[in-house]
Structure 1
Amino acid sequence: MRIDGSISAIVTGGASGLGQASARALAAAGISVAIFDLNAEAGEALASEIGGSFHKVDILSEESVLAGFDSARARQGQERVLVHCAQASKAGKTVRIDRQTGELSRFSTEDYEFSSRGILVASYRIASIAALGMAALDPLEDSERGVITLTASAAAQDAQVGQVAYGSLKAGVNGLVLPMARDLMDFGIRVNSVMPGIFATPPMLNVPPKVLDVLAASVPFPKRLGKPEEFGSLVLELVRNSYFNGQNIRLDGAIRMPPK
């Protein structure tokens, strides 16, 4: 896609981590960026810094998401770029044993359902709403109207113990990509997903330094955590390169996660 000042984007989860890096990369290329997040303070600060706009959006709520799209489009016009990084989920083993009591319990259906709404359903919600708007745009070069990038995870292919919800639902995000790309091919809308490995995002940086050292050493090369700006760089390339379509792309330094 040709990038110039006429292109606008929406980035969910844009107030921090991978979403923030994506918003920065797109804005640096000249794209007008609307940030969707629940963290108003951080989101507004970033929007002010990059010349974008902030919209408080709860990805679990259809009403909130639709209002966010309406607000962003009123500000910057119909987006041609959608980057979905926001998520919500819970962790737990399918069946676990309490080491003190010996009692067995399972990861509840309710917790799995919540995770599904926060990962898989939200990905479809955000992507399909964006696609509906993009489909009405005038086409650019190659008859392209837009590009959607979803965030999966390396866990989609090698989830660890305790990631039954996260791993299976991120695999579901990957599963959305090809049928959605084919659904949208006649409208000139591309769809891809990125599977980040272990990245230096705020939640990860909260773990003890010794754990971070072990994680960094487990990456074949380079032996460090991924930098959010490396994710942002790939997001920008997926916008630029119109032959990326229907792809699930790992960005992980060649790591393959062990069971635990």
Structure 2
Amino acid sequence: MHMNTCRGVVTGGASGLGEATVRAIVQNGGKAVIFDQSEEKGVRLQNELGEAVLFIKTDVTNEEEVTEAVHQASEFMGSVNTVINCAGIGIAEKVIGRNNVHNLDLFSKVIQVNLIGSFNVIRIAAEKMISNEANEQGERGVIINTASIAAFDGQIGQAAYSASKGGIVGMTLPIARELARYGIRVMTIAPGLFHTPMFDTLPQEAKDSLGKMVPFPSRLGSPNEYAQLAQSIIENAMLNGETIRLDGAIRMQPR
């Protein structure tokens, strides 16, 4: 798929990895619709990037909201042929903590947003995609999910987050196999330590220390590097059914 034909829905697109991906789509001649809970950031980005972008306040876990948002996105762009799922949350809590066991509601919330929210958007958007006219390679759509190296190297306190991201990795191949008959590809990116809003509260010294844990390049990843990989996936029709670690060769220690 050529980027200038990209008609992309980006969840979590108002900041971080999602924002960088929205910018990459627009800079390469495509159109994008942002699904996000942050109205302030979403509207600001829409206003900055102009008529090629639409913000829709959306809870990815809500079936009715996502259904309506995908419909609006299709109306705005003429079709939806790309989905990049970047919406997600994270917590740090031990199974057996100092004062209590892991909060079950928190565990469920992380699974609900990260895993079920991603699947909710996939299933509703894929139903739209199968009606697209196939391009010269027979493609009708591309779906890119965001996992994490925590899916493979989960640290102590990351049980919920790792489980949610491991689920994303696990569903990539079966969905890719199912949607192949329609010419829809499904890929997952598993980022390592990236400079996203969750790192903004850390002092620079802490950021530098985390960056030094990465073999090469020894720094935090840039959201633009995530967007660059997303673009490569969109443009390369042979990329399908796989999870790509984007992590500078880091393997996380237990804590």
- TM-score, structure 1 normalization: 0.94
Q: CA RMSD in A?
A: 1.2
Q: Is the 8 A contact 2:6 2:25 kept in 1?
A: no
Q: Is the 8 A contact 1:181 1:190 kept in 2?
A: yes
Question: What residue in structure 1 maps to residue 2 of structure 2?
Answer: 2
Q: Could you say what secondary structure the match of 1:96 adopts?
A: coil
* Farther-moved stretch of structure 1 (89-98 vs 47-56): 89-98
Q: In structure 1, what is the Cα distance between the partners aligned to 2:94 and 2:213?
A: 23
Q: In structure 2, what is the Cα distance between the partners aligned to 1:97 and 1:121?
A: 30
The alpha carbon displacement at 1:209 in A equals 2.3
Alignment of 1:70 onto 2:67 = no
Which of 176, 181, 189 pairs up with 1:186? 181
Q: Could you say what secondary structure the match of 2:97 adopts?
A: strand
Report the residue type matching 2:87 in the other structure: A
Deviations 1:27-67 (A, max 9, x none): 11111111111111211121222231111101121122112
Q: Matched residue pairs, number?
A: 253
The alpha carbon displacement at 1:89 in A equals 4.3
Q: Is the 8 A contact 1:2 1:141 kept in 2?
A: no
Cα distance change, pair 202–88 in 1 and its aligned pair in 2 (3 A):
closer
Q: Is the 8 A contact 2:83 2:143 kept in 1?
A: yes
Q: In structure 2, what is the Cα distance between the partners aligned to 1:34 and 1:179?
A: 26
Q: In structure 2, what is the Cα distance between the partners aligned to 1:10 and 1:160?
A: 31
Unaligned segments of structure 2, at least 5 residues: none
Q: Is the 8 A contact 1:84 1:123 kept in 2?
A: yes
Q: Is the 8 A contact 2:13 2:42 kept in 1?
A: yes
Q: Could you say what secondary structure the match of 1:256 adopts?
A: coil
Deviations 1:55-111 (A, max 9, x none): 11011211221121122112112211110100134431111123xxxxxx2113222
Q: In structure 1, what is the Cα distance between the partners aligned to 2:86 and 2:3?
A: 21
The alpha carbon displacement at 1:117 in A equals 0.6
1:134-213 alignment runs, 5 A limit: 134-213=129-208
Q: Is the 8 A contact 1:58 1:64 kept in 2?
A: yes
Question: What residue in structure 1 maps to residue 209 of structure 2?
Answer: 214
1:1-260 alignment runs, 5 A limit: 1-4=1-4, 6-51=5-50, 52-98=53-99, 105-260=100-255
The alpha carbon displacement at 1:168 in A equals 1.4
Q: In structure 1, what is the Cα distance between the partners aligned to 2:161 and 2:154?
A: 8
Q: Is the 8 A contact 1:59 1:87 kept in 2?
A: no
- TM-score, structure 2 normalization: 0.96
Deviations 1:148-182 (A, max 9, x none): 00000010100111100001110100011000000
Displacement over 4 Å in runs of 4+? none
Q: In structure 2, what is the Cα distance between the partners aligned to 1:178 and 1:141?
A: 24
Q: Is the 8 A contact 1:73 1:79 kept in 2?
A: yes
